[in-house]
Amino acid sequence: MDADAKFFDEMFGTGETAREPYRQYHNWFEAEDSAQLQKKSVEAERLFRRTGITFNVYGDDEATERLIPFDLVPRILSAREWARLERGIKQRVRALNAFLNDIYHRQEILRAGRIPHELIANNDAFLPKMIGVSPPGGVYTHIVGVDIVRTDENEFFVLEDNARTPSGVSYMLENRETMLHMFPDLFSQIPVQVISDYPKNLRRSLAACAPPACQGKPVVAVLTPGIHNSAYYEHSFLADQMGAELVEGHDLRVVDGRVAMRTTRGYTPIDVLYRRVDDDYLDPLNFNAGSMLGVPGVMDVYRAGGITLANAPGTGIADDKAIYSYMPEIVEFYTGESPILKNVETWRCVEPDALAYVLEHLTELVVKEVHGSGGYGLLVGPAASKREIEQFRKKLKANPGNYIAQPTLSLSTVPILTDAGLAPRHVDLRPYVQVSPNSINVTPGGLTRVALKQGSLVVNSSQGGGTKDTWVLEE
């Protein structure tokens, strides 16, 4: 464990003895045959491959399908640790929904001077077509993924919010299924909170947001861009698990003021559309005229109360990393409370003083595009070459408003299983939140992403990261 001794290790803390949340698991692990565990690791890969849990990686000549590596050693949180995280996540999600409602209506936070007006007005993720539109039940962010990192025993930070189309929940569920299949005895010894009810809860949560035009039991469908999308497995998985229809744009049309899907019995109206298509491609009559992925006229039906779109169009502005830097103010403004979960210190490069500081300290900072995701367009200063630093310096000077910078955090580690035994690797956590008009439900745990390369801080699957099962212990 020496290579990462300066980082907080969630299994061992700063010593050699397992911390309380890991004690039972560590005792079990020590009694297991290491060769058998290695065989189980190979078996897990076979299970994932047989199930078809792959994702597409773009950037080469053609998209290639890859398996996300899965590590057998779970990430474990105590009930007390989770209770604090859950409170902080719910508070943050309430504030995000209130913020979205405000900026598309009265814009009181702008009038109060708590956020610069130009940060909204000049933001590509802000949708003027949503001004004055109130989504059914007042819910903008039906599904949220909040990325959290840990730096010490009691230090958790929110790294970013994913309010547009958070992905990865299928891996969270399949990770648990795989662990239950391979180690049923382990779950009988250690009481772990259940997550298998996520799809059922998601359907119930979405149905609770049905539009005024809905009559009877709400019809829910998942809109996918199609089989070539990197997250297509997840789209089909969730539709299947929810008992919802999986549809593409060409399956849908506007009929009598409703969005309807083609069936063997003609066209059937849809009440709630869980869309995994970006705003710009959602409606060729209102946005990108060349889009073949969306539904012509769906925005007009939406504005008239004929369908619920989850998540609501325009929620992407809550993902913006410059907006993220104002989240402490946003939480206080809408909840009247201090944030339970901290933000990471953030420099907005559009501000001259911040830009000067960032340019001077590029070798120490992490620099991100304000609309970036998936680990792309990222500079990790301490790990970058001189050439990469200078290339990024030019990008920053040319378009400073496109970037924010943050300190390089000492991310916590959780051991992975290697041929030589346990070895620490850096992790983050993406809990998933379901929002309905009367409740906010946070699935216990979430997706733990792990940087499999020693010393790496980049956990994204597109950049070679893997995943772990996340356990939240019962009381």
Q: What are the domain boundaries of the chain?
A: 345-408
Secondary structure percentages of the chain, helix, strand, coil, to 5: 35, 25, 40
State the average pLDDT over residues 264-287: 95
Helix (H, G, I), strand (E, B) or coil at 207: helix
Q: How far is CA 179 from CA 19, 43, 55, 191, 198, in A?
A: 21, 11, 21, 14, 17
Q: Would the pLDDT of 57 be above 70?
A: no
Confidence of residue 15 (pLDDT cuts 50, 70, 90): confident
Helix (H, G, I), strand (E, B) or coil at 115: coil
pTM score: 0.92
Confidence of residue 64 (pLDDT cuts 50, 70, 90): low
Q: Angle at Cα 359 formed by Cα 356 and Cα 361, nearest 5°? A: 105
Among residues 84, 94, 162, 108, the alpha carbon closest in space to that of 324 is found at 162
Of residues 373 and 390, more confidence is placed in 390
**Of the CATH numbers 3.40.50.920, 3.30.70.1140, 3.30.1490.270, 3.30.1370.100, which one belongs to the domain with range 345-408?**
3.30.1490.270
Sign, CA dihedral 4-10-11-12, equals positive
> Which two structure tokens, joined as six digits, stand for 430?
């993406």
150 vs 425: CA distance, rounded Å:
13
State the average pLDDT over residues 171-190: 95
46 close to 52: Cβ distance less than 8 angstroms: no
298 close to 247: Cβ distance less than 8 angstroms: no
Q: Angle at Cα 234 formed by Cα 233 and Cα 240, nearest 5°? A: 90
